[in-house]
Structure 1
Amino acid sequence: MRQITRRLAVATLPLTLLASAVAQSSEINLPSTMAWTAYGTNSSGYAQAVAIGNMLQSQHGSSVRILPGDNDVSRMTPLKQGRVDLCACGIASYYGAEGVMMFADRDWGPQPLRVITTSTASFGLSLAVAGDLDVETPADLAGKRVAYIRGDDALNKGTEAYLAFGGLTWDDVERVDFPGYSRSFDGIIAGDVDASFTTTVTPPAQQLASSPRGISWPVLDPDDEAGWARMMAVAPYFRPHEVTAGAGGVSEDNPVASASYPYPIVVANQDLDDTVAYSLIKALQNNYDDYKDNAPGAVGYALEYQDLEWVVPFHDAVVEYYRDIDVWTDEMQAHQEQLVERQTLLKQAWDDFIGDAPSDEDDFTDAWMQARAAALDDAGFEPIFE
């Protein structure tokens, strides 16, 4: 019996309970200065970090220095080295916790990451499909030309997950390789490829929507249990999501049943001081109205949007906060304990592996992934990445 839990619904609470829960407070004690890493200065993730930093400065006298990073490794490295307190990361935080993809490397391995908070906003993460094709669901992509972005594991994993929802693999479509994400959208507009993974609000998606081909978004039926099971077997961080913002006329009046996962994912190392972690989550919830409208997507930090049974464990002090406001359940605790057990197992597997690891880098990665899968399998966990 596999121990890892796959859930199809975001943990939510009645708004009246949320309001009373957030109203409870105790002293917030933050350091005078903190350092975070985030996405580049033109990203919504950076804008959100700035908005939160301004709130922490004005409400609690804590100054936040934000270091923009061009890629996942550059954002995660200062956190690994202890040079920053937090990373407002993307889904690479999950890959880092699992020790896979760009983190299946001699200098990395599984990282002891803990979630402080996440943002889930109105946009979705989906395959943008040329609108001149009759693609209504992922299953309709069979035989179509689908973009593969060289060197971008996260985007390709998202594509693979969408194909899996439709019962497809890369073998069922025509894979077209591109050297970069933007080039793949140029390829759709030029008629060289038919679909590429993106967020629904990104500028390339808007450009495609304005082109002669137009744009469409495959519908993911939230009641298709088999489709969701296939998708989450590939990428368990996805959740059903009603998308109300996106290219091609997606709006609150014209939503799309699709999928999403949090962005940014604000993570720390497990040894972040308990007082700092507790104070951060409390400040973010108590002062939500002070920053929610100050950056695109910042509304997604509301308590009602927090998935308390996601794929990376929460910091212990964050769990304590949720207990204190009476929203943490026995089911959430059992899920948290499974995630911590999984991380502990991965760290032990890495320590056992690294001493006799192959010197060749390609052999190193292959051997680690085999050792990792074997350790998880033996303990009854799904390896997910093999």
Structure 2
Amino acid sequence: MFKSLAKWAALAALPLVAAHNALADDVNLERSMLWSAYDVGSSGYTEASMIADAMMQEYGVRIRIMPSGTAIGRLKPLETGRVKFAFLATETYFAAEGIYDFASPDWGPQDLRVLLGRPASVSLATAADANIKTLEDLRGKRVAYVEANPSVNIKAEALMASAGLTWDDVQQVRLPSYGASLRGMIEDTVDAAIVSPGAPTLYELESSPRGLAWPNIPLDDEEAWDRLNKVAPIFEAAMETVGAGMSEDKPAPMAAYRYPMIVTYAALSDDEAYNMTKAVVSTYDLYKDSNPVMPRWDVKLSGRPPVDAPFHPGAIRYLKEIGVWTAEDDKWNQKRIEHLQKVKAAWKAARDDAKTKGISDDAWPQFWMDYRKEALGAG
């Protein structure tokens, strides 16, 4: 499914079978809720707070948000049942697949489900003087790799894959943080770095001697997007107009993913997932004008694939009721569920094999990643 943010905006203007902006008076919620989210100051925390405020205002519930700066810190309360809902990003994909932080024996593939996910855009920003016009032009250039940040690096890997490139085809510059990767373009230590277009550092780069440029991403090249989504099937094409070096008159091609997503476990009852989804959608008019990105929580945008894990059946029930969910969405969801069943089966088989071979817990993550690649054809 390939669509631009401009098309998203047009889609959002279409009427639903049932108007979702009318506040629902038949939503059943727990009177007190605890959610996990990104750190205070992050857009994930801010957006969770705005949605919580709207729900508290409309339904009289109490909601407290538990912030964390780490993927494990956000997932652990969900895994233990301390929270039922978490506002997450790409760690949802990592946890569902049992990779990176979740490749340890204590974790493995998590049976996560998504209720809604707000579209966000991302690309490899480049210094204009590096003369990178297309993603193919990254060959031989200095591309930032952020230590211990797989969420950033997998996006760079995916975008490069769309052009048939890997880390072996560029000069990988390892940096200690996301912020350092952006500063590297200003300081002339890197030529390109993964970034969301609204990052403040980009405006500084734009006015610096190096300048800012966005490489062309062919939005209608399905083979390129197939290569991109083979790295992680969480992206779609987008034209972005909000951010440094772009405008309504000068949009930039991007890859879209979901941040934040409202995530829970598959074991959550359908009724709880249904009511939470309905509450978030029904209060949309109370939070949609809170900041420039909140309109993208419109259910016709946030209630459709692709997302980082399958949608919860309770959420799907509501999305069908209001005319958002399609047969195409059902096919996507079933394919993701079938894939994750294979991942869990591979994990079990790998654990049995590791026990037979005496693989230590320290050696397990690499053993699993190798086993997973062989069993699933996935990195």
Asked if TM exceeds 0.5, the reply is yes
Aligned to 2:363, the other structure's residue is in SS state helix
- Does the 8 Å contact 1:128/1:217 carry over to 2? yes
Give the C-alpha shift of residue 307 in structure 1: 5.6
Q: 1:380 maps to what in 2?
A: none
Deviations 1:359-384 (A, max 9, x none): 534520122223334443xxxxxx43
Q: 1:256 maps to what in 2?
A: 252
Q: 1:145 maps to what in 2?
A: 142
Q: 2:122 maps to what in 1?
A: 125
- Does the 8 Å contact 1:49/1:88 carry over to 2? yes
Q: 1:17 maps to what in 2?
A: 15
Q: 1:338 maps to what in 2?
A: 335
Cα distance change on mapping 1:15 and 1:335 into 2, 3 Å: same
**CA–CA distance in 2 between the matches of 1:17 and 1:186?**
44
**CA–CA distance in 1 between the matches of 2:167 and 2:374?**
25
- Does the 8 Å contact 1:44/1:296 carry over to 2? no
**CA–CA distance in 2 between the matches of 1:254 and 1:152?**
31
User: Does 1:69 find its partner at 2:63?
Assistant: no
- Does the 8 Å contact 1:22/1:285 carry over to 2? yes
Moved more, 95-104 or 208-217: 208-217
Cα distance change on mapping 1:206 and 1:76 into 2, 3 Å: farther
Give the C-alpha shift of residue 326 in structure 1: 2.9
Return the letter of the residue paired with 2:372. Answer: R
**CA–CA distance in 1 between the matches of 2:63 and 2:91?**
22
Q: 1:8 maps to what in 2?
A: 2
Give the C-alpha shift of residue 295 in structure 1: 3.9
Q: 2:79 maps to what in 1?
A: 80
User: Does 1:384 find its partner at 2:378?
Assistant: yes
Give the C-alpha shift of residue 323 in structure 1: 1.9
TM norm structure 2: 0.91
Deviations 1:99-125 (A, max 9, x none): 11221111110001000111115xx21
TM norm structure 1: 0.89
Deviations 1:302-357 (A, max 9, x none): 02213623241111101111222233333322322222222233223333433544
Aligned to 2:16, the other structure's residue is in SS state helix
Q: 1:154 maps to what in 2?
A: 151
Aligned to 1:176, the other structure's residue is in SS state strand
- Give the root-mean-square deviation of aligned CA atoms: 2.2
Q: 1:379 maps to what in 2?
A: none
The percent identity for this pair of structures is: 37
**CA–CA distance in 2 between the matches of 1:37 and 1:200?**
25
Give the C-alpha shift of residue 269 in structure 1: 0.9
Aligned to 2:378, the other structure's residue is in SS state coil
**CA–CA distance in 1 between the matches of 2:65 and 2:147?**
29
**CA–CA distance in 2 between the matches of 1:217 and 1:361?**
43
Q: 1:206 maps to what in 2?
A: 203
Give the C-alpha shift of residue 9 in structure 1: 4.1
Give the C-alpha shift of residue 241 in structure 1: 0.8
Moved more, 67-76 or 318-327: 318-327
Give the C-alpha shift of residue 38 in structure 1: 0.8
**CA–CA distance in 2 between the matches of 1:216 and 1:92?**
28
Deviations 1:144-168 (A, max 9, x none): 1111111111111111112112221
Moved more, 361-370 or 103-112: 361-370
- Segments of structure 1 that go 5 or more residues without pairing to the other structure are 1-6, 377-382
Give the C-alpha shift of residue 205 in structure 1: 2.1
Aligned to 2:130, the other structure's residue is in SS state coil
- Does the 8 Å contact 1:38/1:46 carry over to 2? yes
Aligned to 2:20, the other structure's residue is in SS state helix
Q: Alignment length, in residue pairs?
A: 370
Return the letter of the residue paired with 2:316. Answer: V
Return the letter of the residue paired with 1:59. Answer: E
Aligned to 1:70, the other structure's residue is in SS state coil
Give the C-alpha shift of residue 69 in structure 1: 0.6
Cα distance change on mapping 1:375 and 1:162 into 2, 3 Å: closer
- Does the 8 Å contact 1:98/1:110 carry over to 2? yes
